[in-house]
A and B are shown apart, each in its own frame.
Chain A
Amino acid sequence: MIIKQLSVFLENRTGRLTELTGALAEHDINISAFSIADTTDYGILRMIVGRPELAETILREKGFAVKITEVVCMIIPHRPGGLHKALQIISDNNVAIDYMYAFASGECQATVVIRADSLQKIIAVLQEHKMELLQEGDVYQV
């Protein structure tokens, strides 16, 4: 239920992101989710990839500051109010979220990637409310 996310420190420099995506493509690593938190000087890239450990090794060899962080991916219906209902549950149970990002995955559902201090707590809360969570097997390439 805990998904490994890849986090990379990126300077705001032309071509730097392309180098990264190129390295992953070269090794057939699929990117299923992707987000960038940016400041004036640098960005933090967060992504869910098919082979997180391999991707980490490759990027480290390429000189990137990279680390694996653990996140939870929640599946919500892709319709008005879907995200709201999920967030209401989380906030009602006082779970603090560090950051999150979401993407539509198919016609009728969306996936929300959530990073929180206590992943165990958020998993328990979401399961209790019958929210669907992504399993490791759903994202990793074999």
Chain B
Amino acid sequence: MEREELRKLQGERLREMVQRVYDKVPFYRNKLQDTGIEPGDIRSIEDLNKLPFTTKQDLRDNYPFGLFTVPQHDIVRLHASSGTTGKSTVVGYTHNDISMWTEVVARSLTMAGVTNSDIVQIAYGYGLFTGGLGVHYGAEKVGASVIPISGGNTKKQLQLMEDFGSTALACTPSYAAFLGEALVEEQIDRKKIRLKAGIFGAEPWTEEMRTQIQNLLGIKAYDIYGLSEIIGPGVSMECHCQNGMHIFEDHFIPEIINPDTCEVLPYGELGELVFTPATKEAMPLVRYRTRDLTRLHAEKCDCGRTLVRMEKCVGRSDDMLIIRGVNVFPSQVESVLLEMSETKPHYLLVVSRENNLDTLEIQVEVEPQFFSDEVKELEGLRKRIHANISSILGISASIRLVEPNTIERSMGKAQRVIDKRKLT
């Protein structure tokens, strides 16, 4: 499709969507009225920058179903990000949304060379997380044989990889590297492994990791991007040129903005990625701020596609961390420590990567007035903190009790995170 034709299509879809959210979602009607915009003001894609932004906080404020444009009986699926009730974000899908999602994932897998002769091992988590089910439907659409093994259980992963002859692997890049090393450790003959392609996403990774994974598993490793608010995996996908991820712009309209001024930046400049998923039925969003920092490139790719490409994300414009594919905000840890009577929010998150798996250590200061001189009491406290934090974050963290006033308190924003993973 030529770019002009695409922009016309985007304009039509945008116009229709703005009218729809204005009619169906009080939040958007109020927001547009506050901005002084009528749906009729949006005539083409050129008018996109007149519209206000949507943030993750808007999703939280409208928890759980406040941004849905369709009645509940039209919703066929719900996914949610991890977090406390107040912090989690819920997304809904109509039957058509699932079809669209299936379609973009199928396109993505096709870009990685997956066909109906392939056996796709899906080691993304299945559940509220969009990774597992998202890739699952797309792989079935392509006609591949799907192994819905979900995450974890490394021995079983390797056994089925060998016995079933998996030819494609979909999971987080860190788990792919972990499986690659396990393959070496278990001394499995590489000739018995038929893998040729990997579809890896849901967390940031570097070119060095790509080389490592490709060597360990003897495959070509493709980067897939997505977030549940927009649809899940399949918002953009790398082609065989491995030179940026093609955004499926017919569904997800991308922009790059300056995160401080919100001004739209031209192609090639680094800024915050914003998406308008114009064709979503259940929960279309107007200019959703992903907080991911990257660049867009519009030059035609060597593969022949004209779809805009996005670079690997180089960071975040907020303090969110992605640990083992799970979104973690320091403020979640803070809320747990504030709720517990024996702790104060003096903490530090230390993220590292050991054997290709992310580790999270949370240091918590012992409060002098609650300090007990019995090991069993302190260990009890440590276990309570561990249980509360793990249940909120959705991942396990090791808790280290430290002496009072040893975690730096700066005048302004305290340093809450040390990330030792060295990602770009």
Contacts and interface: CB of A to CB of B under 8 A. Distances in A.
Interface of B is mostly: loop
A67 interface: yes
Contacts of B375: 37, 39, 44
A7 interface: yes
Nearest to B373: A7
A68 B309 CA distance: 64
Contacts of A37: 375
Interface of B: 366-368, 371, 373-375, 378-379, 400-406
A39 B368 CA distance: 19
A65 B404 contact: yes
Given A67-B373, A69-B373, A41 B401 contact: yes
A111 to B, nearest CB: 19
Interface centre among B373, B400, B405 (most CB of A within 10 A): B373
B378 A66 contact: no
B368 A42 contact: no
A5 B406 CA distance: 24
B378 A65 contact: no
Contact of B400 (A41, A60, A64): A41
B368 A11 contact: no
Given A39-B379, A41-B401, A44-B378, A11 B371 contact: no
Q: Which 5 A-B pairs have the closest CB atoms?
A: A7-B373, A65-B371, A65-B368, A65-B366, A63-B405
A98 B374 contact: yes
A63 to B, nearest CB: 5
A67 B367 CA distance: 11
Given A63-B404, A65-B366, 5 more contacts: A10-B403, A44-B373, A46-B373, A64-B403, A66-B371
Chain A, interface size category, equals 20 to 34
A65 B400 contact: no
Contact of A60 (B368, B402, B406): B368
A11 B402 contact: yes
B403 A63 contact: yes
A1 to B, nearest CB: 20
Contacts of A9: 366, 371, 378, 401, 403
Contact of A66 (B367, B368, B374, B379): B368
A46 B368 CA distance: 15
A7 B377 CA distance: 13
A37 B401 CA distance: 15
A57 B389 CA distance: 33
Nearest to B376: A98
A11 B348 CA distance: 15
A39 to B, nearest CB: 6
A41 B378 CA distance: 11
Contacts of A66: 368, 371
A99 B377 CA distance: 12
7 contacts: A9-B401, A39-B379, A63-B406, A65-B366, A65-B371, A115-B373, A115-B374
Nearest to A38: B375
A65 B176 CA distance: 44
A124 to B, nearest CB: 23
A9 B366 CA distance: 8
A11 B371 CA distance: 13
A107 B404 CA distance: 41
Contacts of B373: 7, 44, 46, 67, 69, 115
A99 B374 contact: yes
A44 B373 CA distance: 6
B53 to A, nearest CB: 44
Contact of A67 (B371, B379, B400, B406): B371
Contacts of A63: 403-406
A39 B381 CA distance: 14
Interface-centre pick from B375, B405, B406 (highest chain A CB count, 10 A): B375
A65 B367 contact: yes
A99 B367 CA distance: 22
A117 B247 CA distance: 66
Nearest to B403: A11
Nearest to A64: B403
Contacts of B403: 9-11, 16, 63-65
A10 B402 CA distance: 8
A41 B350 CA distance: 15
B79 to A, nearest CB: 37
Nearest to A39: B375
B155 to A, nearest CB: 28
B377 to A, nearest CB: 9
A42 B401 contact: yes
A7 B372 CA distance: 8
Contacts of B367: 65
